[in-house]
Amino acid sequence: MQFFKNTNFNFIGKRKIALIVSGSLILIGLISLIIHKGPNLSIDFKGGNLIQVEFSKEVPLQSIRDALH
């Protein structure tokens, strides 16, 4: 039982293509980081506070926003 036929691959012969593809992907990623000003970090990595509160009755969202600003 043979799953793959002709498993003789010339990896060394294809190294230039692999280097070009790898280099291009790395360059595209670096350009993307520069254009978008780095990764979009969450509050865990930016610093800051996350507060979770629970109310006994429903409070309008706008009143909470007004109190925080």
Classified as helix, coil or strand, 9 is: coil
Model pLDDT, residue 7:
83
List pLDDT tens digits, range 13-58. 999 999 999 999 999 999 999 998 888 777 677 777 778 888 899 9
Domain ranges of the chain: 15-68
User: DSSP class of residue 57?
Assistant: S
d(CA 48, CA 30): 27
Residue in the structure block whose two tokens are 């506070």: 49
Residue 60 has pLDDT above 80, yes or no: yes
